[in-house]
Amino acid sequence: MIISKTPLRISFAGGGTDFPSYYKYNEFGAVLSASINSYLYVTVKEQSSLFGGEYRLNYSETELVKDLELIKNPIIRECIRFLEIDEKLYIGTTADAPASSGLGSSSSFCVGLLNALYKFKNESISLGRLAEEASHIE
């Protein structure tokens, strides 16, 4: 079982200027934010065959699906697709703050999930590449 711990963050200014849709058409962007002492946790493990060979996904909803294309959560679906993982997985999340709290939980979720999935595959990834891939997926 792999558990990743990713900090949440608070933004003070410039939210959105770090997205390609902004900085491709402007000379620069600037963001002022900081991580805080609150975290998002992602658990990843291979799903037991006792559960019928399904993906079991626990976040703000619970999903039990047999096929990757049926996963409703776009971040989970695209992270698994991006890393070309064939195994059926259990993925669970918990956080110190609720979703839509303005603390970057969706970004933390994407980073934490990618990090855990790389560990699941026994592959290492640099922090810079992890950030780039999470931005691409999100």
Q: Encode pLDDT of 5-59 as tens digits.
A: 999 998 887 767 666 777 778 777 777 889 899 999 999 999 887 767 789 999 9
Collapsed DSSP state (helix, strand, coil) of residue 126: coil
Domain boundaries, the chain: 2-6+39-137
pTM, 2 dp: 0.86
CATH numeric code, 2-6+39-137: 3.30.230.10
Dmax over Cα atoms in the chain, in whole Å? 54
Q: Encode pLDDT of 74-83 as tens digits.
A: 999 999 999 9
Torsion over CA of 41, 111, 17 and 60, rounded to 10 degrees?
-50
Give the phi and the psi of residue 58 in degrees, each rounded to 5: -120, 110
Question: What is the Cα–Cα distance from 64 to 25, expressed in whole angstroms?
Answer: 41
Q: What is the CA radius of gyration of the chain?
A: 16
Both tokens of 85, joined, read 């993982």
